[in-house]
């Protein structure tokens, strides 16, 4: 048996998101409080666990691995429950390294959705904020962290050097496979992302769960919110079609709500509950299949 740190190096899933903030700091927070240098202070112990996390992610997320996980999880035959039970379930993912300062998963979801609501966006967009990280329940089904969170990327074609820690892809078997290691790999130029398989994680899983219930721009936000190599770095333009480019405007609109809405004050769930109960009832069935 491998020691836990070799399977799940992060003390909690939020360490990945904290690291995203170092890579893509909030322009407003920089103006108001800290210098970019302070945000980009890579010299800390958490950075090492994040690095190890990406080493595992880049080594093991192969085309075959993704196909196998799709087959396994997209049958949705594990559990059926109302969304409210799913939030309770998700909240079992607590951070034991620093219970005082970190908010639970539902609070991150509510801070995201409330920030979207405050800006007057359509209600389905608010719902996207509420559910966007529900796929993290994969951890509770026994998946390692590197198969749940982290930046996502296409499999079946060359890994872009714009993906964080690109050097770790040299250990990925697909990297040496001539079928998969050319610019387009198994795909045709500009074939559209609907024809492209992404590394496996909470984005694809929640997209597949929600695909019959939420308008398409919201589905793009769910499916590609961790695809930083495209929505921030534009490294996969050669796989996108015109429709993707249109829809990625929405992905870009969503990203700051996810990254920059975190704050230490927990939202007042009691007060918010009636609004969200109505919202969920408007779009989603009484129970969801996991
Ligand atoms: Fe996420
Ligand atoms: Fe998130």
Q: pLDDT by residue for the chain (290 residues), tens digit each? A: 667 777 899 988 888 888 999 899 988 776 665 555 555 555 677 788 999 999 999 999 999 999 999 999 999 999 999 999 999 999 988 655 444 456 789 999 999 999 999 999 999 999 999 999 999 999 999 999 999 999 999 999 999 999 999 999 999 999 999 999 999 999 999 999 999 999 999 999 999 999 999 999 999 999 999 999 999 999 999 999 999 999 999 999 999 999 999 888 889 999 999 999 999 999 999 999 99
Q: Which ligand is nearest to the CA of 148?
A: 1
**Gap from CA of 255 to ligand 1 centroid (Å):** 10
Domain that holds residue 119: 4-289
**Gap from CA of 132 to ligand 1 centroid (Å):** 6
Q: Which ligand is nearest to the CA of 113?
A: 2
Q: Which pLDDT score is estimated for 43?
A: 61
In this prediction the pTM is 0.92
Q: Which ligand is nearest to the CA of 259?
A: 2
**Gap from CA of 133 to ligand 1 centroid (Å):** 5
**Gap from CA of 181 to ligand 2 centroid (Å):** 30
Report d(CA 199, CA 62) in Å as an integer: 8
Q: Among 250, 252, 263, which Cα is nearest to 103's?
A: 263
- Can you give the chain as a three-state secondary structure string? CCCHHHHCCCCCCHHHHHHHHHHCCCHHHHHHCCCHHHHCCCCCHHHHHHHHHHHHHHHHCCHHHHHHHHHHHCCCCCCEECHHHHHHHHCCCCCCCCCCCCCCHHHHHHHHHHHHHHCCCCHHHHHHHHHCCHHHHHHHHCCCHHHCCCCCCECCCCCCCCCCCHHHHHHCHHHHCCCCCCCCCCCCCCCCHHHCCECCCHHHHHHHHHCCCCCHHHHHHHHHCCCHHHHCCCCCHHHCCHHHHHHHHHHHHHHHHHHHCCCCCCCCHHHHHHHHHHHHHHHCCCCEEC
Q: Which ligand is nearest to the CA of 149?
A: 1
**Gap from CA of 225 to ligand 1 centroid (Å):** 6
**Gap from CA of 178 to ligand 1 centroid (Å):** 32
Report d(CA 9, CA 106) in Å as an integer: 23
Contact status, residue 160 vs residue 236, Cβ threshold 8 Å = yes
Report d(CA 31, CA 35) in Å as an integer: 8
**Gap from CA of 179 to ligand 1 centroid (Å):** 30
Q: Provide the residues around ligand 2 (an ion) whose CB is within 5 A.
A: 133, 258
**Gap from CA of 136 to ligand 2 centroid (Å):** 10
Contact status, residue 187 vs residue 238, Cβ threshold 8 Å = no
Contact status, residue 69 vs residue 147, Cβ threshold 8 Å = yes
Residue 158 is encoded by which pair of tokens?
């060359």
Q: Which ligand is nearest to the CA of 261?
A: 2
Q: Which ligand is nearest to the CA of 112?
A: 2
**Gap from CA of 149 to ligand 1 centroid (Å):** 7
Q: Which ligand is nearest to the CA of 226?
A: 1
Q: How many domains does the chain have?
A: 1
Terminal CA-CA length for the chain = 28
User: How do residues 232-288 score in pLDDT, each as one tens digit?
Assistant: 999 999 999 999 999 999 999 999 999 999 888 889 999 999 999 999 999 999 999
């Amino acid at each position: 048996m491998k020691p836990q740190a070799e399977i799940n190096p992060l003390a909690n899933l939020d360490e990945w998101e904290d690291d995203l903030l170092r890579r893509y700091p909030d322009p407003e927070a920089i103006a108001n409080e800290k210098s970019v240098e302070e945000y980009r202070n890579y010299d800390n112990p958490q950075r090492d666990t994040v690095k190890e996390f990406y080493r595992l992610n880049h080594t093991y997320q192969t085309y075959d691995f993704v196909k196998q996980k799709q087959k396994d999880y997209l049958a949705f035959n594990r559990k059926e429950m109302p969304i409210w039970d799913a939030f309770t379930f998700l909240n079992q993912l607590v951070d034991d390294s620093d219970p005082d300062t970190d908010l639970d998963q539902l609070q991150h979801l509510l801070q995201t959705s409330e920030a979207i609501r405050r800006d007057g966006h359509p209600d389905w967009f608010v719902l996207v904020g509420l559910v966007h990280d529900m796929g993290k329940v994969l951890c509770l089904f026994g998946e390692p962290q590197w198969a749940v969170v982290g930046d996502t990327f296409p499999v079946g074609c060359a890994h872009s050097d714009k993906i964080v820690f690109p050097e770790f892809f040299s250990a990925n078997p697909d990297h040496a496979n001539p079928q998969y290691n050319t610019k387009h790999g198994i795909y045709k130029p500009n074939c559209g992302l609907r024809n492209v398989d992404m590394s496996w994680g909470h984005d694809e899983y929640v997209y597949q769960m929600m695909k019959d219930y939420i308008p398409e721009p919201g589905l793009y936000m769910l499916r590609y919110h961790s695809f930083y190599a495209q929505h921030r770095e534009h490294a996969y333009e050669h796989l996108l079609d015109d429709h993707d480019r249109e829809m990625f405007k929405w992905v870009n609109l969503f990203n700051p709500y996810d990254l920059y809405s975190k704050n230490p004050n927990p939202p007042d769930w009691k007060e918010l509950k009636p609004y969200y109960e109505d919202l969920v009832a408007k779009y989603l069935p009484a129970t969801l299949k996991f």
